[in-house]
Structures are given as structure tokens and as C-alpha cells.
Structure 1
């Protein structure tokens, strides 16, 4: 098929990974993909970067004006999409949903081309909760509902997120959950845990690992507090693969508790380096999670066969099962996280069993980008 892939993302974080992997997977399946997107900063492969001009606009413009500009961008994108569609003659449009973005829907209606809409977050809800909220919430809710109801198929990344989509009146038969995935090839040449530890000078340690852009709500401070207590084995070491706004605070906490030598931050690294660091983990940490998300880091933990610790939230339980591929804890129960940390760090047999269960999960649930692309495109192919 000829696929017109449209997005409005210019960042170099996990969003970029999802976009690039889905495009590559569609092409690997033999489809021709044409991409229409805004001009982005040159991608140097370094994860966790932002988009400076976007942040500048948000900072200097009144909130309502910025949101009107987002909606107005749909007209710019529509013209680009229409020009490409007339020349490319696509069999379908695949769009990554963004707030106030209606260009894909407009082209679908103009040319009668099927539209698959990938939804990674309920953005009206999300942006209402963060960054000072939305100035044009009624307009935003209208735009979100218009986009979701207008697509031929909506592809949320979790069943929890699918419930948000249904709340907008999208029929259940047009909602198809497709979680984030993994590209096995990118992790096929990761070193063994022993080799990875040796390269980092962490031989003989039980390595607790976290990847990503660390924020205060991620709960990494609780891990450091636990390591300073009497229940934590003294050979534990925390390895944070990434950076974040609370890095300085966490490093100060570690030094204050006498753990300065047992906590390591890599800083922002090239995405190709991630497997070599994650390979060193004995225990992979997901201390907290957005309740509707499908975390990319979780797929990285699973594909490398790491014992996972995570909260027992409905979205994570779509992939994780307590005692099979993870130890899950009740977020509302005081000390629950610390209890599972003590269990897994003190029991190498348990870690091994969870690690094997984690490694088996990718194939069992087909959590690959190729599988995701195949499932998504089959929705259009089935229509003939």
C-alpha cells in the first residue's frame, strides 16, 4: 500500500522513537511510506532533547494565542498533506494524534481516504493537568472529539486510554489497542550483563536501573532512601540512564545519605548506547507511571530480560503479571515499593525467574514494531 504518514512532532524523545520505528516497520513490510511533518531540529540521535523554538513560543505567547496557533497549523498541514496526497495517491493516511491537529481528518474527508489515528495520550486531560492548564479548553475538547470520532480507526496504546476514547462517543468497533513495541534488532548485540557491568566498573553489584528523563514524580528518590536503610543489601547500585530536572537534587540526596559512590547518572546519551547500559541492570525500575501510558522503557526492560519492579496499575497490568515477569506493588500501601525491592535484591533465583518471564513477554504478546504495523495496517487491508 501507499501510506501517507503525518505527524506534528519535532522532539527527539520517545515520541521520535515511536514515529521512526513505525515508519521503518511499515516499509519493512513492503509498503511505500511518504512522510509529511513540520521541520524539526536536526536529529543527532541524542535522547531526551527538547525543541527550543517550541518552548520559546510557549514562554513568550499568551496561552490562548499559542493554542490558536496550534489550531491554525492544521490549515498549514492540510495544504501540505493535500499537495502530497494528490501526487502520491495514498491508500491510507496514518496520523499521530496531537491536540488541535485536524489536517488528517480534513484530507480524509476531501479525498475519501481511510484515516488511522494513533493516540498516545488524552491530551485535553493531560494538558489541563500540567503546564498551567488550557486557556481554550472547550475548543480543545471539541477538536479532540472531532479528530477521534472522525477517524476510521483509533489506535490507543492502552486499554485504559481506549476508555478515554470511548467517552468521546467513538464506537468500540473502531477502537483497537496497540501498545508500544520494540525493535529486536536494536538490542540484538547488547553485551551480556557481566560484560556490561565490567565496562561500567560495576562488577559484583546488584544494579538497580532506570532509563529516561527523570522527573520528581518518578519516585527515584524513594529508591535512594531505601538504599540508605538497613533492609537494602550493601552491594546495590543505582544506575540512571538519562538526565532530568531532578538530577542535581537526587545526587545531593545520595551524597547526604552517604551513597555518592553508589548512584550513577549517565546524562543524556545517544539512543544507540541505551542497550549497553540497560544490559547491566539486574532490576529494572518503573517506580511510577502515567495511568494511561504504555512506557517505552518497559519494552526495553523486557526485551533484554530484566526483572521489573512496577506499580500494579491497570495499564501496566496489560503487559506485566506479578510473579511472572515483574514484582508489582500497591501504590497506595506505605512501604510496598520498598518491600518488593528488598525481595528481589535479596533473591537471585527470583530475579532469574522474573528475567526469563520478561524475555518471553515480547514474543508472547508480540510487542514489536513490526507486529504493531502489521496489526494497524490490517485494519485497512481487511476493508479491501
Structure 2
């Protein structure tokens, strides 16, 4: 099968969508399929293909972390995709490149699959002032509905995506396909002790200190501010419990100021942006992963923590129910005190029980590799191809004549 994956961002940028698309590409190719990545590239002056990636000229958007934004209409892009002759076009974003993928699928009469990765209601504040949020939210829902309507199949990494589709007025079935994780890269057995020690020394962590980790974009939707408030309320400095926050974003300065104001800078460290390839030692030397975000849809950073054997503490989120299971790969917490109690439970847990929990956390994502993802998605592609062929058949003149004859016979 020949598959064109349309994504607004791709390597060297790193985010959840990029990680998902890269894993899907790797998995499909390992199974013998051909893949073309179509992406915006602010450094490109013309369209060109290199190593299976169609780079599309774009301008840099300051609002979206310096990512490229491409114009949706391009006859050159259409020509390149036509020459690739895809069986399926799979759209992973909804902006210039995503819109382009949707239109090219229609022009080439190719099966279209659409994956919703982001709960856009949580991100409206990036583009709209407060008085315009209701109108922008309504427009966002209509826009999502357009993609879903034109696609033969829609997917999302969690039930939360299905709920969002329903809010947007989309009632077709949603294929829930969990996000992938690079199990080889995030393998606790591959982190040398010297790297762990170097990490501890870099941040001044002493022997016996328990370190919780959060990784992600530092925007309001990630609720890191809530974690800081909870830390201030319930964690005491003498307990030797630390929080490491990795990532950058529009709220980083505000969060750092909040930590100073709360007087918890001796317990909280902001490490800034870390390259994805450098991430495993950071994850591997922490003791647990923690998040208070309810905007994520099967967070890849959280899955990477599990792959490294970190139990996850996740704030209660009914729409993501089942991702974290008490005593299997972590624990759910409800409020500040519950969070602190769960952290202390992990800190004082007997070594044999903690070791078993860490092993169980890794096992919980053991079926989340690139090939597993590709196998799930191929089933969706085959269904989309079947629906597309059926719709083509129904629009042929001979089929319409046959249908009229049948109706007359009835």
C-alpha cells in the first residue's frame, strides 16, 4: 500500500504529533508499505522530496512555537503527491497542510483518513482574545466537522477524541488507536549508570531524593500551575521530594515566577527544552511521572515514562479513564492531599513492590510500538479503501442504470 501522511510539523521539530507520525511511518515501512510524509518547512524555498519527505514552503508562525505554516493550495504539491500515487491520504492536522491533504484526496479521488490529535477547545486562547472565544470555538467545531465529514474514516488516540467529535457534531464511528512509544529508545536497561549520575549532579539531586517528572509544552492547558500549587500545599522541603519540569512554552516565565512566589524553588526545577534524542537519561533517572493536565489525549511523554518503568500519577480525568490503572502502571489522584499521599506511598514502597510496579508499568505499553500502531492503522486504511471503492461504484453511470432497473422491478 502507498500512504501519504500529511502533518503540519515533522522532524527536526518534536511534539506528540511528530512522534506519532514518525512511528507510524516506521511501522508501515517495516511491514513493507511505501510512505510519503508531506509537511510544512519554513526553510524550504521550493517543494522538494528528500528521504521520503515532501518539504513544502512555509512561513514561520510565532504563535505556534516557530513551526512552519504552508498555504493550502499548491499545484506543485498536487503534482508531487499525484506522482507518488497514494492509495490512502492520512491527515494529522487541520491547518495549511491538513487542508491541502483533504483537497488533494478529493481531487485524486483517494481514500481519506483523518486523525484528531488535539482538543482544540483547550487551545483557543492561543489565537483568540477572551471575548471571541465562544465564536472561535464554534468555528473550530465546524472546521473539525468538515474534515470528519469528508474522511472515510476518523481516528483519535483516546476516548476523549471521540467525545470532542460528538461536541463538534460528528457522529460517525471513531477508531480509538492509542499513541505509540519507542520501546527501544526508552528502555531502562540501556541507560548507563554514569549518565544517571551525571543527570543527578546536573540538577543537584542528592542520593535518596525522590524525583517526579513532567514533560510537555508549558501552556495553560498543561496545568503545571496546578501542580505547583499542590506542591506548595502538601509537600515539605525536608521530605526530599522534587519535581522536574521539562519543556518550554508561552507560560514558562509565568510558571517560574509562580514557583518563586510560592517559595518552592528548592523543590521544583525547570530544565527547559530537551532534545527528544537526549530525553531517555532524564526520564530513566526519575522516580515517577506526574501530570495534572486534562487536555492530553494519551500523552506520549507519559507513555515514554511508562516505557522507562516510571509509575504515573495522573489527575482524575474520566474521559481518559483506563490509561492509568491503580497499582498496574501508576495511580490516579483527585486533589492536592491525594497527590501527596500517593507520592509518599511510592517513596516508602518496599523495594520488591516498587520493582514489580515499575516492571508492570513498562509491560502496560509493551504493545505500543511502531509495528503495533501500523497494524492497527492498516485495518482503518482497508476499511477506508473499501468505503471509497463502494462510493465510486455507486456514482458510476452503469451502477445508476442498474439501480434504476432494480427500483422499477420492485
TM-score for both structures, normalised by structure 2: 0.74
Instruction: Kindly report which structure 2 residues correspond to 1:79-94, keeping only aligned pairs within 5 A, or say none.
Output: 79-94=75-90
* Structure number with higher strand proportion: 2
Distance 1:139 1:268, change over 3 A: closer
CA distance in 2, matches of 1:57, 1:308: 28
Q: CA deviation at 1:144?
A: 2.0
Preserved contact between residue 17 and residue 92 of structure 2 (Cα < 8 Å):
no
Q: Which residue of 2 aligns with 1:220?
A: 227
Distance 1:168 1:270, change over 3 A: closer
Aligned-partner SS, 1:116:
strand
CA distance in 2, matches of 1:138, 1:258: 41
CA distance in 2, matches of 1:177, 1:251: 36
Matched, 1:114 2:111: yes
Q: Which residue of 2 aligns with 1:207?
A: 211
CA distance in 1, matches of 2:5, 2:153: 15
RMSD: 3.4
Q: CA deviation at 1:276?
A: 0.5
CA distance in 2, matches of 1:80, 1:378: 31
CA distance in 1, matches of 2:269, 2:297: 27
Q: Which residue of 2 aligns with 1:22?
A: 24
Matched, 1:368 2:369: yes
Aligned-partner SS, 1:37:
strand
CA distance in 2, matches of 1:13, 1:58: 11
Segments of 5+ residues of structure 2 without an aligned counterpart are 45-57, 387-410
Preserved contact between residue 180 and residue 300 of structure 2 (Cα < 8 Å):
yes
Instruction: Number of aligned residue pairs: give it.
Output: 354
Aligned-partner SS, 1:186:
coil
Preserved contact between residue 288 and residue 311 of structure 1 (Cα < 8 Å):
yes
Aligned-partner SS, 1:184:
coil
CA distance in 2, matches of 1:57, 1:270: 18
Q: CA deviation at 1:163?
A: 2.3
Distance 1:256 1:82, change over 3 A: closer
Preserved contact between residue 6 and residue 93 of structure 1 (Cα < 8 Å):
yes
Residues 192-201 or 20-29, more deviating: 192-201
CA distance in 2, matches of 1:154, 1:328: 29
Segments of 5+ residues of structure 1 without an aligned counterpart are 43-50, 60-69
Q: Which residue of 1 aligns with 2:144?
A: 144
CA distance in 2, matches of 1:194, 1:256: 35
String of CA shifts for 1:299-350, please: whole Å, max 9, x gaps. 11110011211112124323211222111112xx452222222322232445
Preserved contact between residue 207 and residue 238 of structure 1 (Cα < 8 Å):
yes
TM-score for both structures, normalised by structure 1: 0.79
Matched, 1:54 2:55: no
CA distance in 1, matches of 2:377, 2:63: 36
Q: Which residue of 1 aligns with 2:345?
A: 343
Q: CA deviation at 1:245?
A: 4.8
Distance 1:58 1:253, change over 3 A: closer
Equivalent residue for 1:322, pick from 319, 322, 326 = 326
String of CA shifts for 1:124-155, please: whole Å, max 9, x gaps. x3444554256666554433211111111111
Distance 1:114 1:234, change over 3 A: same
Q: Which residue of 1 aligns with 2:36?
A: 34
Q: Which residue of 1 aligns with 2:361?
A: 358
CA distance in 1, matches of 2:229, 2:285: 21
String of CA shifts for 1:57-113, please: whole Å, max 9, x gaps. 999xxxxxxxxxx8x93323xx34431232111111111131574333322233221
Distance 1:226 1:196, change over 3 A: farther
